[in-house]
Amino acid sequence: MELRPATAEESDAFSVAVLTAFHEELTDELRKRYLKIDEPERSLAWFDEGSIVGTSGLFSRAITVPGGAQVPFAAVTAIAVLPTHRRRGLLTGMMRGQLENIRDAGEAVAALWASEAAIYGRFGFGVAAQTLELSARRPAARLRTPPEPVTLRAGAAGEHVAAMRGIHDRVVPTRPGMLTRPGPWWEERLFDPESEREGATPLRAVVCDEGYALYAVKRKWDDDGPAAQVVVRELVSASPAGHAAIWAYLLDLDLTRTVTWELAPSDDPLWLALADPRALRRTLWDALWVRIVDVPAALSARTYASDPDVVIEVRDAFCPWTEGRYELSASGCAPTGREPDLVLEAAALGAAYLGGTTLLDLAGAGRVEERTPGSLARASAAFRGDVAPWCPEIF
């Protein structure tokens, strides 16, 4: 078998292989969608007698890190191996090749969403951001205090892109884990073919000066009357006032019984704003998995809540070029020959990178070893961000 990038001419065969592994089919709508965001030169695929049997891809994106910088990173996507070719090391070969390509491209960080959570830890990825699945029960779910009156604009999602883009651009630097959306990425976020709606209305938007939401409604009636579900795709607010105004609108839509959002920030304060917090069910899931590809560059790109003043030893059997000891301070990170204060695997470092998963928690799980007393608490406090990392889009 041969491992190489799939060409643009092989895009359909590549897409069919990916979708087959995920039990889906290639449609004209999906083909047009993929062509807008595809980077075939960044793919790697296994070919068996000319047929694609394993796939992996990368998107060139930028992610916010603690401190507000937008750092170029490789968004790992389209990882699949056909059932006929499993247990042969194809995934391992693709992941190693992709991480080497990411290193050679000068990107210090890679990240992905894991379809199966048990897979990617062995490749050095760690859970760096979590997400809340929210389900609000109407009419019990109402705000404790009515929001200040604001001007709301609602309508088809495509009518409000400029306003939403402006709010999104304001918020991105304030939240680690969020991605910039250049070029076709806003169009990708609004992708809404009828075949993907599962019975919901076309995607709509509600916007005010300080926030917006993308949502649809699944209409339903039962023996107790109207029972429609409001399905939120994205809600971004630049202030508490914006957050309250948008939620007040969503929780007051007539003929609806529930409001659900699968990808809320893990620290979303809605439950604290409700008169009855039990009217909101919250379920926590793993979200963005991060992999450090260049330790000094990645750790120097973000800022810290205080001076870490620590030497860390990184162990990395899968990408041995990252192994070593590094001196980390508020001014940056560089290799060192000094004895380590902390020892950890690459996956643990990736988990801590965005400031959400703490080094203290990782140590409690047996994934960080403290060699110098006091260094763990100091470094954990330094890595911690002001807000939880959040990635509102799956790539």
Tens digit of each residue's pLDDT (9 = 90 or more) over 229-238: 999 999 999 9
Q: What is the predicted pLDDT for the residue at 44?
A: 98
**Where, residue-wise, is CATH 3.30.1050.10 in the chain?**
295-383
- Write the CATH number of the domain with boundaries 131-285: 3.40.630.30
- Please work out, in degrees rounded to the nearest 5, the angle formed at the alpha carbon of residue 103 by the alpha carbons of 315 and 128: 60
Closest CA to 3 of 95, 120, 121, 86: 95
Place of tokens 């926030």: 211
Task: Quote the CATH superfamily of domain 2-107.
Answer: Gcn5-related N-acetyltransferase (GNAT) (3.40.630.30)
Where in the chain is CATH 3.40.630.30? 2-107, 131-285
CA dist 172 and 206 (Å) reads 19
> Where do runs of H (alpha helix) occur along the chain?
11-21, 28-37, 90-104, 161-171, 185-189, 240-250, 270-273, 295-301, 346-352, 359-364, 375-383
23: buried, middle or exposed (CB in 10 Å: 19+, 13-18, 0-12)?
exposed
**Contact, 148 vs 111, CB < 8 A?**
no
* Both structure tokens of 295: 């330790």
Q: Which of 14, 73, 120, 249 is catalytic?
A: 120
Phi then psi for residue 288, to 5 deg, are -85, 130
Told to judge if 326 belongs to the known catalytic residues of this protein, a careful annotator would answer: no
- Interstrand relation of 109-113 and 280-286 (parallel, antiparallel or unpaired): unpaired
Find out whether 376 and 154 touch, Cβ atoms under 8 Å: no
On whether the 295-383 domain is CATH 3.30.1050.10, my answer is yes
- Identified catalytic residue from 59, 123, 326, 395: 395
Distance linking the first and last C-alpha atoms of the chain:
28
pLDDT tens series, the chain, 395 aa:
999 999 999 999 999 999 999 999 999 999 999 999 999 999 999 999 999 999 999 999 999 999 999 999 999 999 999 999 999 999 999 999 999 999 999 999 999 999 999 999 999 999 999 999 999 999 999 999 999 999 999 999 999 999 999 999 999 999 999 999 999 999 999 999 999 999 999 999 999 999 999 999 999 999 999 999 999 999 999 999 999 999 999 999 999 999 999 999 999 999 999 999 999 999 999 999 999 999 999 999 999 999 999 999 999 999 999 999 999 999 999 999 999 999 999 999 999 999 999 999 999 999 999 999 999 999 999 999 889 999 999 99
Is position 395 annotated as part of the catalytic site? yes
Cα 189 from Cα 176, distance rounded (Å): 19
